[in-house]
Structure 1
Amino acid sequence: FLLFYILFALTEPELLRFSRTAAITLICFPVLCVLMLKIYGGFPIGIKKTKEIVYSASIATFLADAVTYLELAIMRINFQNRSYVQDFFTLIGIFLLQVIAINLFGYLGNYLYFKVNPPAKCLVLFGSKEGLPQFVGKISRYKKQYRVCQICDIASLPEDELRKTIRAHNAVFLYSIGESDKVKVLEYCYKHNRTTYLTPELSDIITRHSRHVIIDDVTVLESRISGLTFEQRVLKRAMDIAISGIGLLCASPIMLIEALAIKLEDHGPVFFRQPRVTKDGKVFEVLKFRTMIVDADKNNKRLASQNDDRITKVGRFLRKTRMDELPQFINILKGDMSIVGPRPEQVEITEKYVEVLPEFQYRLKVKAGLTGLAQIQGKYNTTPRDKLIFDLIYIEQYSLFVDIKLILQTVKVLFKSDSTEGVVGEFPEGFDHLFDQPAADHQN
């Protein structure tokens, strides 16, 4: 804030005097900065990786800078004033200095935090090995935060050995264990001040977002899995119409260039249409820019992979930048989709998911969306179950602010390519020896 205010004051003398411009700027920028940092995750030293902290904080700061710059420009509209270009370059210079400061504080903050706070000694308790390698692999990527010391099948541990093993660690991860075991471990960890992390089930999500109701002197939890209320649907639809209309208007020049590039590459059709599933199982035809060769599914119908040879050169760029999805503004304007919601899946894939995960049908309580919690937080190799959990969390905690927050967070994802980090089918190297080791090995 000081960098922005002092350096902009060099070109805006009003900021150095007690004036309306100075007062509004002093209020506007800090409020915007705090709001944007809240939306993009704050400055979570010791929780996230340094690169992620710097990336999120830089985007939040840039948006706060841009809005404050526009506010200053509007307040001093003067057709005789030709200093806007100069001010714009000043803004860019200030932002670069802010990024340097963010990097400095981010790296220094994490360095000092982890110097004082070593990684937590972690125990992983599992009930099923299905998906366990991927789960342990994801934890192992955060080496400064967590150190997996032991991996145990909870069914193989006697009661006394389980308690002894828990006490030998700082944190316990619960993966795919039964309800009775979960309650038992949570109560014991709570009693002995051990941090617990658990992979959520549907019941956990419902309970988490339940409303507390007091009947006489009894507290009960009220759970409603009925989708959005009438008022929420009206507000959401109004926002969809406004944003999709403005989006189509602003993006039309870019869409024209995309269409020409696709046509010039192989002279095939510009758009790709495919049946997808939205609210209440209704099937609609999604509209996207074509990113694959013509008749890509004719001889070999399969889901697109990250390095699929059927993807065209133009298509690869469009997929990476998500610009192939711009025509979906038309689907949103028509009412088939929403700006924010679960990803619209193919009919066949939806049917298969429902067979394996019956809970998958609950995500159909709201319209499919162009962006959403699963699209933002998920990665290229995120499992369908984990994506479902993200979608159900979104539905249960829905509010207009959540939608606005997710729309703004999408900006961050646009400049961040998907990754296949972590293991896919086996445990990371060096983790095999952690299975069912004696608890005494980890006392120190």
Structure 2
Amino acid sequence: MKNNDKQIGQIKDRFLKLINIVLVMIPFAIYDSFVLGASQFAGRDRIYVWMQALLFMLVYSLATRTYDAFYIKYSKISELIYSQVLSVLVADALMFVVIWILLRQFPPFLLALLTLAVQILLIIIWVYLVHQWYFKTNPPLKTAVIWDQRKDFLELIDSYGLNKRFEVIRDSNVEDCINDLSILDSVEVVFMCGVRSHERNIIMKACIANDTPVFMIPRIGDVIMSGARNMHMFHLPVLRVARYDPSPEYLFTKRLLDLVISGIGLVITSPIMLATAIAIRATDGGPVFYKQTRLTKDGQLFQVLKFRSMRVDAEKDGIARLSTGENDGAVTPL
């Protein structure tokens, strides 16, 4: 019965994703049809429109997967909108370049911005309606939180608005859980925070046996192991763990794409960044940007440049501070 419900839920999720992808594709297809119809492709532009519409859907779908843009169950409305807007920016930018190459002339840019605005409006409407529908039709899951070092995980669930999704009915130290695994029988989801590998394996085996999903906050060793390479040695499966060492051709391709995509992104978002800069300056008269020294590969230093979102004197004592939430006095109103 649980498997049937899970499969039905997966079908619903895929159907909702398809609706979103088609909705976002329609404004692009209209723009593409108008641009090609007004060019030398008139009369045979339909096949180009269909091909580019399918390509747009593919790129947008891949981008949404990269940015976790369909995590309706676990994300806030604002996070879903942000992820999908990033995805549509990537898809639109790539397709704009494709149209540019196809026409051999610069496509109408203002019309492209209008198309983007319509897409963002459709994204906002879709996200809001689907989010509201999902949490009205799906009660929160009975949840157990098993911790070793991070006892404040309940506060994280509340602060991220995930109490609509997870109803914590068990909050247990890992030792108590190991001594009485029956506390996992009455829950639908288990969170593990900072639990060491030996105890974690025992709990995970019990959860898998009960077909109970597990969310785990990894330790440093887990993060390192996630990049291990699968191989065979001694007629046994072996995991090779080493420092990340990408190939030269991958580094060249990545750097080229970084420059091209970020360059296009800067051009497209420059009006938004200009408006943001003016708003920051007008809010308190302070500097627009915040600069800080960060570390990159091999401990090399670099200067990160961000739009300032905290008061100028927020770190006047030289100590870096994380935001404590919406009521943090160090955060500017903007």
Please indicate the TM-score interval, normalised by the length of the shorter structure: 0.5 to 0.7
Give matches, 1:50-89, under 5 Å: 50-77=77-104, 87-89=108-110
SS in 1 for 2:164: coil
For the pair shown, the structure with the greater C-alpha radius of gyration is 1
Aligned twin of 2:239:
221
1: CA distance, partners of 2:254 / 2:109 = 36
C-alpha displacement of 1:185: 0.8
AA paired with 2:73? G
AA paired with 2:214? T
* 8 Å CA contact retained: 2:192, 2:216: yes
AA paired with 1:100? L
Aligned twin of 1:9:
33
1: CA distance, partners of 2:124 / 2:147 = 38
Identity across matched positions, percent = 20
C-alpha displacement of 1:170: 0.9
C-alpha displacement of 1:167: 0.6
* 8 Å CA contact retained: 2:146, 2:192: yes
Give matches, 1:386-401, under 5 Å: none
AA paired with 2:252? L
* Closer/same/farther in 2, CA of residues 207 and 112 from structure 1, 3 Å limit: same
Aligned twin of 1:168:
186
1:196 and 2:214 aligned: yes
* 8 Å CA contact retained: 1:273, 1:285: no
Deviations 1:198-225 (A, max 9, x none): 221122223332222223542222222x
Give matches, 1:177-256, under 5 Å: 177-215=195-233, 217-224=235-242, 226-229=243-246, 231=248, 235=252, 239=256
2: CA distance, partners of 1:209 / 1:116 = 38
SS in 2 for 1:132: coil
2:318 to 263, 287, 302: 302
CA RMSD of aligned residues (A): 4.6
C-alpha displacement of 1:136: 1.9
* Closer/same/farther in 2, CA of residues 101 and 221 from structure 1, 3 Å limit: same
Query: Larger RCO: Structure 1 or Structure 2 (Cα < 8 Å, ≥ 6 residues apart)?
Result: 1
Unaligned runs of 5+ in 2: 1-24, 268-272, 329-334
SS in 1 for 2:167: strand
C-alpha displacement of 1:186: 0.9
2: CA distance, partners of 1:153 / 1:10 = 62
1:38 and 2:57 aligned: no
Q: TM-score, normalized by length of structure 2?
A: 0.66
* Closer/same/farther in 2, CA of residues 126 and 210 from structure 1, 3 Å limit: same
C-alpha displacement of 1:10: 4.1
1:107 and 2:128 aligned: yes
1:94 to 115, 139, 142: 115
* 8 Å CA contact retained: 2:293, 2:302: yes
Deviations 1:117-176 (A, max 9, x none): 221111112223xx422x2211222122212222112324573xx222111111111122
2: CA distance, partners of 1:186 / 1:114 = 27
How many residue pairs are counted as aligned between the two chains? 285
1: CA distance, partners of 2:131 / 2:114 = 26
* Closer/same/farther in 2, CA of residues 280 and 2 from structure 1, 3 Å limit: closer
* Closer/same/farther in 2, CA of residues 287 and 122 from structure 1, 3 Å limit: closer
